[in-house]
């Protein structure tokens, strides 16, 4: 069966449309992502999920801003910090939880785990584990769109740790030479595993590397979901209208350690506290109240509603059976001999 034969996932499409069109829904999705990641950590602490997991607390505005800017027909090639991106782009809570728990009702049937959320109906293509891989793959996707004359834009999301990997340079160079419709979204959360960005890379801003490839670039120094949407939207529009690739750097901050086992003790004192004052949920909540789009009471109600959906989705996810043993051989391609 080809990917194009899959039935569209109407729930994922509706969840995506909500964040594209409704400001309060963008707020709700960020609250949902924060709460969902806390729940995923609970699954691990309780021994219900195993392996490691990477959370993106503090980075919700990038995920939801991206979901609001891109069309569901665009393809989005992501790195390993996946839960927020998956939920923002349209995955349901149950499918994200169940994938983390290794259950059949997970996004890819429970065989992928935390890294491998996929939802083709809304263009979400899973992480490939080796840092930077997705930059080249997105250029390939964009090249296909160019050859086929489709409207699709490919977006590669990656971290500050990927900019010193060879494939970053190869992908930017090729994208520019072929003028393909791709946006490189560099999510600078200040750390790659345990190393601060300024100990790895001698230039600032990182996005200025695009100049070596005669490529437009921008820096979104914000924790504001609407600014992310607008800044990325400009790059996506340029790509869609034949203007070629752009490198967009979204400056953000990772509240927790790299993965579950990292307490982030290497962080300078007060750094986290300073970023927490510009927390994306707080910033957006203040904006909604200041512009009369919501009251404090409505925002509090959103949090209560999200909390109850988290519990219901966790129960549904835990009720799913584990994959059959044979699932490891499904969807595996081998040439005829």
* Interface residue list for ligand TPP (CB under 6 A): 79-81, 129-131, 158-162, 189, 191-193, 254, 258
**Which of ligand TPP, Mg ion, none does residue 103 bind to, with CB < 5 to 8 Å depending on kind?**
none
**Which of ligand TPP, Mg ion, none does residue 162 bind to, with CB < 5 to 8 Å depending on kind?**
ligand TPP
The binding site for Mg ion (CB under 5 A) comprises: 159-160, 189, 192
Angle (CA) 187 192 194, round 5°: 145
Nearest residue to ligand TPP, scored by beta-carbon proximity: 159
Closer Cβ to Mg ion, 137 or 189, answer by number: 189
Closer Cβ to ligand TPP, 27 or 158, answer by number: 158
Compute the least distance from the CB of residue 41 to Mg ion, in Å.
19
Which burial class, exposed, middle or buried, applies to 129 when counting CB atoms under 10 A from its CB (0-12, 13-18, 19+)?
A: exposed
Closer Cβ to ligand TPP, 81 or 229, answer by number: 81
Compute the least distance from the CB of residue 267 to ligand TPP, in Å.
13
Distance of CA 103 to the CA centre of its chain: 22
**Which of ligand TPP, Mg ion, none does residue 255 bind to, with CB < 5 to 8 Å depending on kind?**
none
Distance CA 70, CA 182 (A): 12
Nearest residue to Mg ion, scored by beta-carbon proximity: 159
Distance CA 239, CA 248 (A): 12
The set of residues, in sequence order, having a beta carbon less than 8 Å from that of 13 and lying 6+ positions away, is 72, 90, 121, 122
223 neighbors 278 (Cβ within 8 angstroms): yes
Distance CA 252, CA 231 (A): 14
Compute the least distance from the CB of residue 187 to Mg ion, in Å.
7
Closer Cβ to ligand TPP, 67 or 167, answer by number: 167
Distance CA 243, CA 235 (A): 9
Closer Cβ to ligand TPP, 130 or 312, answer by number: 130
Compute the least distance from the CB of residue 259 to Mg ion, in Å.
12
- Three-state DSSP at 251 gives strand
């Amino acid at each position: 069966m080809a990917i194009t034969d899959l039935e569209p996932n109407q729930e994922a499409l509706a969840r995506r449309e909500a964040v594209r069109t409704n400001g309060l829904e963008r707020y709700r999705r960020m609250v949902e992502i924060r709460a969902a990641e806390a729940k995923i950590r609970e699954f691990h602490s309780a021994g219900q999920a195993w392996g490691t997991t990477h959370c993106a607390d503090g980075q919700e505005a990038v995920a939801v801003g991206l979901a609001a800017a891109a069309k569901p027909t665009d393809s989005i090639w992501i790195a390993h910090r996946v839960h927020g991106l998956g939920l923002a782009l349209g995955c349901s809570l149950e499918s994200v939880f169940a994938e983390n728990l290794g259950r059949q009702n997970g996004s890819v049937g429970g065989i992928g785990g935390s890294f491998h959320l996929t939802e083709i109906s809304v263009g979400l293509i899973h992480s490939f584990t080796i840092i930077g891989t997705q930059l080249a793959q997105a250029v390939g996707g964009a090249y296909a769109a160019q050859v086929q004359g489709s409207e699709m834009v490919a977006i590669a999301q990656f971290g500050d740790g990927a900019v010193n990997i060879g494939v970053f340079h190869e992908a930017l160079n090729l994208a520019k030479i072929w003028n393909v419709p791709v946006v490189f979204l560099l999510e600078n959360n200040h750390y790659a595993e345990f190393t601060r960005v300024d100990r790895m890379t001698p230039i600032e801003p990182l996005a200025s590397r695009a100049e070596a490839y005669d490529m437009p670039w921008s820096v979104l120094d914000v924790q504001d979901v609407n600014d992310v949407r607008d800044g990325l939207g400009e790059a996506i529009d340029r790509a869609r209208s034949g203007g070629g690739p752009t490198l967009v750097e979204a400056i953000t901050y990772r509240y927790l350690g790299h993965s579950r086992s990292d307490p982030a003790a290497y962080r300078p004192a007060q750094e986290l506290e300073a970023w927490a004052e510009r927390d994306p949920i707080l910033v957006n909540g203040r904006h909604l109240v200041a512009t009369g789009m919501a009251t404090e009471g409505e925002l509090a109600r959103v949090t209560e509603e999200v909390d109850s959906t988290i519990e219901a989705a966790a129960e549904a996810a835990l009720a799913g059976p584990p994959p059959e043993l044979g699932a490891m051989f499904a969807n595996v391609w081998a040439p005829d001999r």
